[in-house]
């Protein structure tokens, strides 16, 4: 029986081992780091004080979920972890793997374990597994059959079930910044034994094109080396002519969408028209539906400007309608105009706060009858019951203000709306203070 287990998988299969860098393979594959310390851009995880470094120093490797954008090094780190602890490395993709395939992987891992070798199972795009498939990992994680390393570009708290997350530590990978992408380009030049044929401005442009993706910057660099003629030095225009501009990393239904709309809304609320315009353009450039943006701009006008500038809602609605009428690209300027107007307007969330407070009161107090004096009395019976009795017509009162109470008697008068001293609300506050004084005087 021992021979059977030995023959089953004495060494990990070629598919299961971290792949050796192919001599003639893509540049990104040839430059995969061979040690954890060589990984750039993730020093908070792989540096001397990093979370992964500390985990390895402890002598045991636990299951982890690697969460981060494309090209940040998740697959590379998973392979290096297996190498560091001498575990068999199995790699699957949730896109192409079903439950039957998982069972085969788990059984192979059990066989290895009986012969004394652990298995690190790397699952790419783990968020694409459904809840039942995710549950299938739980028993083999708990009994030590596998150490799971999952990779995802989506927020694990939304895409992975709680049982799986409770058994794995989430480690966040960061998008590469200009410095780490520059380091990758230097490594590429060392490997190619020649500099990139780009002037400084074009080199900076190539880094921006990569959009934080390490694999992309190396792929773009490789395209430049293929396209440049001997002795040619490309400027920005030359770079654009030999490589296609890379689409921004943006998924209209996932984190990229919610992160940018949040940034746009908070920039408007924070009275920063420049930042607000930037995020608006980011979303338009990435293909966001402009009418979605128009609807959100209308919401911002109500939530964050309110009665401090009542025209803000009119401008926002007009911008939405203008885009609906004109379409792209002419209508997008109307959205930009509205964003700048809202960001520059005085701010008040007083109506928003009042609305939420009034809604809570409406739910808490139930179906209280309004005071009888403000109820209509279309029938004799209702008049006999006192409906409408004692109602004071405000336009007949001094200052067109009777000072009557309009809240249900069982509830008592409550204050929801507290205008700020900003913009038009300063004048509203003055009127409300005068009415409060008159109400007290006329009750005496």
Give yes or no: residues 322 and 399 share one domain. Answer: no
CATH number of the domain enclosing 407: 1.10.3710
Q: How many domains does the chain have?
A: 4
User: How far apart are the C-alpha atoms of 146 and 137, rounded to whole Å?
Assistant: 9
Whether residue 214 is found in the same domain as residue 116? no
- Do 16 and 147 belong to one domain? yes
> Which backbone phi and psi does 335 adopt, to 5 degrees?
-65, -40
What integer pLDDT is reported at residue 321 of this predicted model? 95
Establish if 42 belongs to a structural domain.
yes
Residue 14: what pLDDT? Answer: 35
Whether 312 contacts 301, CB under 8 Å? yes
Q: Residue 281 maps to which CATH number?
A: 1.20.272.10
Same domain, yes or no: 139 and 22: yes
Dihedral sign from CA coordinates of 411, 413, 416, 417? positive
Cβ contacts of 154-158, under 8 Å, gap ≥ 24 = 154/67, 154/127, 154/254, 154/255, 155/67, 155/254, 155/255, 156/65, 156/67, 156/127
| pLDDT value for 13 | 40
| Domain, as residue range, for 260 | 255-344
pLDDT at 250: 62
What residues in the chain have per-residue pLDDT under 50?
1-22
Please give the pLDDT value at position 253: 59
% of the chain exceeding 90 in pLDDT:
57
Q: Could you tell me the end-to-end alpha-carbon distance of the chain, in angstroms, rounded to an integer?
A: 100
CA atoms of 220 and 235, how far apart (whole Å): 15
Q: How many CB atoms lie within 10 A of CB 44?
A: 14
Is there a single domain that holds both residue 14 and residue 162?
Answer: yes
Question: Does residue 434 share a domain with residue 320?
Answer: no
Given a contact cutoff of 8 angstroms between Cβ atoms, the answer to whether 362 and 298 are in contact is no
User: What are residue 271's phi and psi, to 5 degrees?
Assistant: 60, 45
pLDDT at 249: 61
| pLDDT at residue 24, rounded to an integer | 67
> Are 309 and 397 found together in one domain?
no
Same domain, 156 and 191: no
């Amino acid at each position: 029986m021992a021979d059977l287990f030995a023959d089953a998988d004495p060494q990990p299969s070629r598919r299961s081992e971290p792949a050796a860098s192919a001599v003639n393979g893509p540049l990104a594959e040839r430059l995969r780091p061979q040690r954890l310390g060589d990984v750039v851009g993730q020093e908070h995880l792989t540096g001397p004080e990093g979370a992964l470094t500390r985990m390895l120093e402890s002598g045991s490797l636990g299951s982890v979920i690697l969460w981060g954008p494309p090209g940040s090094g998740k697959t590379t780190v998973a392979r290096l972890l297996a190498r560091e602890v001498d575990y068999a490395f199995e790699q699957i993709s949730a896109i192409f793997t079903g439950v039957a395939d998982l069972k085969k992987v788990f059984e192979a891992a059990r066989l290895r374990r009986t012969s004394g070798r652990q298995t690190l199972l790397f699952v790419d795009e783990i968020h694409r597994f459904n809840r039942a498939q995710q549950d299938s990992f739980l028993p083999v994680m708990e009994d030590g059959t596998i150490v799971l390393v999952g990779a995802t570009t989506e927020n694990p708290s939304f895409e992975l079930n709680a049982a799986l997350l409770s058994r794995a530590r989430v480690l966040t990978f960061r998008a590469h910044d200009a410095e780490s992408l520059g380091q990758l380009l230097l490594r590429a030049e060392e490997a190619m034994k020649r500099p990139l044929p780009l002037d400084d401005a074009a080199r900076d442009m190539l880094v921006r094109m990569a959009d934080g993706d390490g694999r992309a910057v190396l792929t773009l660099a490789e395209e430049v080396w293929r396209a440049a003629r001997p002795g040619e030095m490309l400027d920005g225009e030359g770079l654009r002519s030999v490589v296609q501009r890379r689409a921004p990393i943006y998924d209209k239904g996932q984190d990229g969408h919610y992160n940018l709309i949040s940034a746009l809304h908070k920039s408007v609320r924070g009275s920063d028209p420049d930042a607000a315009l930037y995020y608006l353009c980011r979303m338009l450039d990435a293909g966001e539906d402009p009418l979605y943006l128009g609807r959100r701009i209308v919401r911002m006008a109500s939530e964050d400007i309110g009665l401090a500038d009542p025209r803000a809602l009119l401008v926002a609605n007009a911008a939405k309608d203008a885009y609906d009428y004109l379409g792209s690209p002419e209508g997008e300027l109307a959205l930009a105009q509205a964003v700048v107007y809202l960001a520059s307007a005085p701010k008040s969330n007083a109506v928003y706060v009042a609305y939420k407070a009034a809604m809570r009161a409406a739910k808490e107090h139930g179906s209280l009858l309004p005071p009888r004096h403000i109820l209509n009395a279309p029938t004799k019976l209702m008049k006999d019951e006192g409906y409408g009795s004692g109602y004071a017509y405000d336009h007949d009162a001094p200052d067109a203000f009777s000072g009557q109470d309009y809240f249900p008697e069982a509830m008592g008068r409550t204050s929801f709306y507290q205008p700020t001293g900003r913009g038009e609300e300063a004048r509203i506050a003055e009127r409300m203070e005068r009415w409060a004084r008159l109400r007290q005087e006329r009750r005496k």
